[in-house]
Amino acid sequence: MVEDPRYGRIMSVRGLDLSTLRRFSICVVGAGALGNEVLKNIVLYGPRELTVLDFDSVERSNLGRCFLFSREDAETGMRKADAAARAIGRMNDDVAVKALVEDARSLDHEFFSGFDMVLGCMDNIASRLHVNANCYYCGVPYVDGGIDGLAGRVQVVIPPDGACYQCTVNATHMSVVDLGYTCTGREANVPRRLVPSEPSVSSLTGSLQSLEAARIAAGKGEAGRMLLYNGLRNELDSVIVSVSGVCDNHGCGKDENHKD
């Protein structure tokens, strides 16, 4: 089959075979500042299907950090999923773009098992834990992303290998998981503070997250890999996170398998 010239430059990239990604059905959870950046990159890769999941509506305060939204979207209170899906659909009409206005926490493993990969761009730990656990249960690769001002964080989860997102959430986080926590896990004041957002860091973190998705599709993903970006110093650290002995997603299975 002759490759569409649209993807000629992407497919000619050495060392990263992106042909598999073109056949993927991908879900991006969260269409805020980070989600906007991730959706832009993923739709340009030309996956088979791209689902935008978000229950929130566009507000004027979103316009300073979400380039997929317009002033009209904010004035009419358009749903973020619908506005983002419309914008990326215009960027690449080869892709079957779907919008789903739902809270991720209301969806179970049957929903998440329908995708080849899920990317998390959420603003709270509870939703991340829910999506991570469901993806892990289904064996669906999950790439989590978070931003907080000049800090960016990306974590690669490739079940059943390596650590998952919950492995990195400590007891303090778990005890206040429903309170206002930021994307990177730092405690927020209650009532919830406005999480600072810097456009370049959002863009960079979203690009790191999208590239990890591309690496997974190309068979080069590394389970448990975590990228930590510090925008103040413009430095990036990369580590492999260890599986936690108290993580429900790993621990339960191990206990059952090792019962005497």
- 18-39 as b/e: b if 16+ CB within 10 A: beebbebebbbbbbbbbbbbbb
Does residue 147 belong to the site contacting Zn ion (CB under 5 A)? no
Closest to Zn ion by CB, 206 vs 224, is 224
Does residue 31 belong to the site contacting Zn ion (CB under 5 A)? no
* Contact window for Zn ion (CB under 5 A) among 36-44, 85-93, 162-170, 230-238: 162-170
HSE-up (13 A, CA, CB side) for residue 38: 33
Closest to Zn ion by CB, 62 vs 166, is 166
Does residue 131 belong to the site contacting Zn ion (CB under 5 A)? no
Name the minimum Å distance from CB 173 to Zn ion.
Answer: 13
Name the minimum Å distance from CB 157 to Zn ion.
Answer: 8
* 183 part of the active site: yes
State the catalytic residue, choosing from 27, 183, 247, 252. 183
Whole-angstrom Cα distance, residue 151 to residue 227? Answer: 11
* Contact window for Zn ion (CB under 5 A) among 71-79, 148-156, 160-168, 209-217: 160-168
Q: Which of 21, 167, 204, 216 lies at the binding interface for Zn ion (CB under 5 A)?
A: 167
Residue matched to tokens 């509506």: 57
Does residue 133 belong to the site contacting Zn ion (CB under 5 A)? no
Which residue's Cβ has the minimum distance to Zn ion?
247
Closest to Zn ion by CB, 84 vs 125, is 125
Closest to Zn ion by CB, 28 vs 247, is 247
Does residue 166 belong to the site contacting Zn ion (CB under 5 A)? yes
Does residue 249 belong to the site contacting Zn ion (CB under 5 A)? yes
Does residue 203 belong to the site contacting Zn ion (CB under 5 A)? no
* Contact window for Zn ion (CB under 5 A) among 87-95, 137-145, 164-172, 199-207: 164-172
Does residue 164 belong to the site contacting Zn ion (CB under 5 A)? yes
159 residue type, one letter = P
Q: In this structure, how many other beta carbons lie within 10 angstroms of the beta carbon of residue 194?
A: 9
Does residue 247 belong to the site contacting Zn ion (CB under 5 A)? yes
Q: Which residues are catalytic?
A: 183
Binding site for Zn ion (CB under 5 A): 164, 166-167, 247, 249-250
